[in-house]
Amino acid sequence: MLLNTRLTPAEVVRIARTGDRTPEVVIKVMGQGGRCLQAVQQHFEDIHKGRNRALETDDGEPVRGKQAAKSLPEDWDLDLEALLSCRVYFTPMRRRSPKLVHKLMFSMPAGTPPDKLLAAVRNFLREDFARHRYALALHTDEPHPHVHVVVKAVSEESMRLNIRKATLRHWRQEFARHLRAQGVAANATRRAAYAEKRRCKLHGIYRPVNGRPRSGNQFPIS
């Protein structure tokens, strides 16, 4: 009863999926190597090479050949962005230039169809990153399929993308929605909901074990 008054209907549905052990989506922000042009170049090469790996750009075209991945930083004008960042942002008060790109990874548990995962990520990127240059690569050489995504930090309209907690929360919800549209069971429960559910369970277990009686009106009924 109390849970329904605190959460929105959409959050209640997500928590119900959690109770059914619906797989949680994972989006990781890889913090290192996004500020240096050489590191960005190396990352493009790393996610492109190897078996079962294919790199494609935001226009849907595949990137073929060893030299093709090296051309992306030039196509995105990252060299100019790096030069501009040094002139505008590198000051005695700020010794680190802003990121040239954001490196992300979208993943799901083992057994998720890789083609459906890739389709969901594609659709997500088309909606949320329509004004940014990006590239993605599906990796299936590990038990859990995952998609590496590189997003240019500055949009075509010169707007900088800043990733915050609310941003990640929105991304997870949208990623899960696109997966469900592909027929893949996916959930994006908020951490607060996890914590609330965990606290209620831990208190209910901890008190009887330690011999402390639990009053009937101390904890909400979920």
Domains of the chain: 1-22+190-222 (no CATH), 24-181 (3.30.930.30)
User: What is the rounded CA–CA span in Å between residue 131 and residue 152?
Assistant: 10
Average pLDDT for 109-122: 96
Give the pLDDT score at 192. 43
Percent share of the chain, pLDDT over 70: 70
Whether 193 shows a pLDDT value over 70: the answer reads no
Residue 79: per-residue pLDDT: 86
Q: What angle do CA 73, 75, 81 make, to 5 degrees?
A: 60
Q: Is the pLDDT of residue 42 over 70?
A: yes
Mean pLDDT of the chain: 79
Quick one: pLDDT at residue 182? Answer: 97
Would you say the C-alpha torsion 146, 147, 150, 155 has a positive or negative sign?
negative
pTM of this structure: 0.75
pLDDT at 149 over 70: yes
Q: Percent of the chain having pLDDT more than 90?
A: 45
Half-sphere exposure of 192 (CA within 13 A, CB side): 8
* Averaged pLDDT for residues 76-98: 68
Instruction: Report yes or no: 221 and 46 within 8 Å, Cβ to Cβ.
Output: no
**Can you list the alpha helix ranges (DSSP code H) found in 53-113?**
66-75, 78-88
